[in-house]
Amino acid sequence: MDDKAIKEEVSKLRDEINYHNYRYYVLDNPVISDSEYDTLFKRLERLEKENPHLITPESPTRRIGAKPLKEFGTLTHVVPMLSLGNISQPEEAVEFDARIKRLLKTDEEIEYVAEPKLDGLAVELVYIDGKFSAGSTRGDGYIGEDITLNLKTIKSIPMRLLTRSVSGGENPVPSRLDIRGEVIIPLKAFEEFNREREDLGESLFANPRNAAAGSLRQLDPRVTAGRPLDIFCYGVGTVEGVNFSSHFETLSALKAWGFKVNPLISICRGIQEAIKYHREMEEKRNGLPYELDGVVLKVNSLMLQQRLGELSRSPRWAVAYKFKPRRATTRIIDIIPSVGRTGAITPAAHMEPVKIGGATIEHSTLHNQDEIDRKDIRIGDRVVVERAGDVIPKVVSVIKDRRTGSEAPFKMPSRCPLCNSAVIKEGAIHRCTGGLACPAQLKESIKHFASKQAMNIDGLGDKYVEQLFENGLLHDVADIYSIDKNDLLKLERFAERSSQNLIDSIEKSKKTTLPRFIYALGIRHVGEHTARVLAEEFGSLESLMDAAYEELINVKEIGPETAESIVSFFHESHNIDVIEKLKRAGVVWSNVGKKDGSLLGKNFVFTGALSLFKRSEAKELVEKEGGRVLSAVSGKVDYVVVGAEPGSKLDEAKRLNIKTITEEEFKKILGL
């Protein structure tokens, strides 16, 4: 092929790939299969590799930069990125409308465009001659941070404007086009992302907004590429060479160029319709896949917008009409410390019940004494509480003006409220030193022992452990195995059938695996993953029990704290007795081949429906060989196993250039 033909093919491939990206990520309506897409993508990759002079920064193969930045540069917004005035009441909306009519000297109804106001991070995207060339944060409205490389990783941001829209029309290509939009993380993806972080022992984000902001502020675009970011575009800055007459027309053009525009945007004739829109959106809010904090009303006519002009920081032609906050004020009746499985004492606020977004809030964790001191929270204080998305309610701040002088500071007790053992402070955490002599710790460790990831005793959930414990049937975890059906039948909620079921699942749980058993013991700092590492390293419980501190810290991934906690756990005679008692009760596990896992250090992700394995089986097989199964695709993943009708994880894998394998290939890797 001559150079010209190659160039043409490359350009055609890019157009095609961009189009299919758009079908998938923006319209959520793909028209080719993943493997067809793959073929196109690989072909382009090959041609670019053989002809590096043809590589351009906006090629679909270049979404993920290879190197981290040292720092972000800055970019100036040609048209400043203004913010919006806020209102929250219908009367204020009427007033906003009246002012507009006054300024325009008209009595006629104003046409508004009403848009959902997403809670994320405002960004600007610059397209030069139809190609994505730069992107930035809002910054101070005039100058923002240059986050071009990070924005490139968001698949719903087009790298090139679509020149032919889906409806078939030809789109103009402005010499320069600045787009504004809001980068968000959808709620489900946020929860999954946080769960994954929790599994890995990383700190959690408080809400999707913070997670989106944090993800865009990464100096390494490869990190950003692994985050579930999305964007909705809602306006333009400067546009050279194309004229619009209304905002709605602008939005239609954005759609045609391939940007994601919120489908809930609607034209409202007159302010009453806009108020109705606001009410409807507020009702819809809980069912939407992302956080909304209100709606934005914009005068539709650009001519009228111009006549209205702007104040120093916000336009007169638009307003943010907020929803009722998911915040409320209430009073802290008491602060009650509760003791967890590892003895950590967590103070919880008990509050006068208050309704937020349909739910009644009465309790909120205050985390620890340092947090209470930092926010200066006292018993009797009036406080602001917040419930965002599905996230647990939290105390945001104290209303200090409302103090009467009778509020009492909270001090963590120096003795455990349940067992009277001494309380020590480690970092920010207060801890009861009573160990299993403390009823709270005992009860929590039994719950842990029975839990799904540990001994997996079906039907012995937290509530039932509480009940058996309160009825004196459990004094240590091993007592679970001497529960008798007749004991159960005497209890409330237990009938013949349910008692037999529980007895059966207790029996079934006796056959377990070494990693599960180690995890079930509830040794501090030994989570599921560490338990697996220990099982692989030591091969048997006996060798682990015999392991000295030096031996333990030599194991990769085991730090001094964990090593120390393992040693002291097995030095405690009570723990040895319980292990013996469990063995006598018939609890067995097979020892693990010492560190011979063929998948040691390998991370897997599954997507789509598997036909040869159940997910749980596949997970166990991977783990048996020393590998890990993660819930989301990121740079850490080695293989993505693709079943039938795979989800977005497959595309994620392609973008990140992670090996994808079929179930058959997966079987081979496992040596099956």
Q: Interface with ligand IVH by CB under 6 A: which residues?
A: 82-84, 115, 117-118, 122, 138, 182, 234-235, 296, 315, 318, 320
Could you give the CA distance from residue 68 to residue 90 in angstroms, rounded to a whole number? 48
The closest of 122, 256, 113 to 181, measured between CA atoms, is: 122
Q: What are the backbone angles phi and psi of residue 608, rounded to the nearest 5°? A: 80, 175
CB atoms within 10 A of CB 46: 10
Residue 270's contacts (CB-CB under 8 Å, 6 or more residues apart) are: 97, 109, 110, 111, 112
Q: E strands of 187-286, at which residues?
A: 230-240, 266-269
Nearer CB in complex with ligand IVH: 231/351: 231
**Smallest distance, Å, CB 84 to ligand IVH?**
4
Would residue 284 show up in a list of annotated catalytic residues for this protein?
Answer: no
Could you give the CA distance from residue 646 to residue 659 in angstroms, rounded to a whole number? 15
The closest of 373, 383, 271, 366 to 327, measured between CA atoms, is: 383
Nearer CB in complex with ligand IVH: 83/88: 83
**Smallest distance, Å, CB 233 to ligand IVH?**
9
CB atoms within 10 A of CB 614: 9
**Smallest distance, Å, CB 118 to ligand IVH?**
5
**Smallest distance, Å, CB 551 to ligand IVH?**
54
Could you give the CA distance from residue 447 to residue 466 in angstroms, rounded to a whole number? 8
Nearer CB in complex with ligand IVH: 120/226: 120
**Smallest distance, Å, CB 88 to ligand IVH?**
14
Tallying the residues shown for the chain, one arrives at 672
Measure the CA angle with vertex 560, ends 568 and 521; round to 5°. 40
Nearer CB in complex with ligand IVH: 295/555: 295
Measure the CA angle with vertex 405, ends 402 and 411; round to 5°. 105
Contact 373, 324 (CB under 8 A): no
**Joined tokens for residue 393:** 């309610």
**Smallest distance, Å, CB 82 to ligand IVH?**
4
Nearer CB in complex with ligand IVH: 315/439: 315
Q: What are the backbone angles phi and psi of residue 368, rounded to the nearest 5°? A: -165, 175
Instruction: Provide the residue type at 232 as one letter.
Output: F
Measure the CA angle with vertex 291, ends 286 and 296; round to 5°. 100
Handedness of CA 284, 289, 295, 300 (dihedral sign): negative
**Smallest distance, Å, CB 133 to ligand IVH?**
22
Nearer CB in complex with ligand IVH: 115/623: 115
Nearer CB in complex with ligand IVH: 48/115: 115
**Smallest distance, Å, CB 410 to ligand IVH?**
37
Nearer CB in complex with ligand IVH: 111/115: 115
**Smallest distance, Å, CB 225 to ligand IVH?**
23
Chain centre distance of CA 614: 25
Nearer CB in complex with ligand IVH: 142/549: 142
Residue 667: how many CA atoms within 13 Å on its side-chain side? 10
Nearer CB in complex with ligand IVH: 24/234: 234
Secondary structure element (H or E) that encloses residue 545, with its range: helix 541-546
Nearer CB in complex with ligand IVH: 181/515: 181
**Joined tokens for residue 259:** 């940007």
**Own/partner pairs, 10-18, CB within 8 angstroms, 24+ separation:** 10/44, 10/47, 10/48, 10/51, 10/54, 13/40, 13/43, 13/44, 13/47, 14/44, 14/59, 14/60, 14/160, 15/160, 16/40, 17/41, 17/44, 17/60, 18/60, 18/158, 18/159, 18/160, 18/162, 18/258
Q: E strands of 550-596, at which residues?
A: 588-590
CB atoms within 10 A of CB 149: 26
**Joined tokens for residue 211:** 């997670």
Locate tokens 């100058």: which residue?
143
**Smallest distance, Å, CB 295 to ligand IVH?**
8
From 70, 101, 117, 619, active-site residue:
117
Measure the CA angle with vertex 584, ends 578 and 586; round to 5°. 110
Measure the CA angle with vertex 520, ends 515 and 521; round to 5°. 105
Which residue in the shown chain puts its C-beta closest to ligand IVH?
122
**Smallest distance, Å, CB 322 to ligand IVH?**
10
Chain centre distance of CA 209: 10
Which residues are designated catalytic?
A: 117
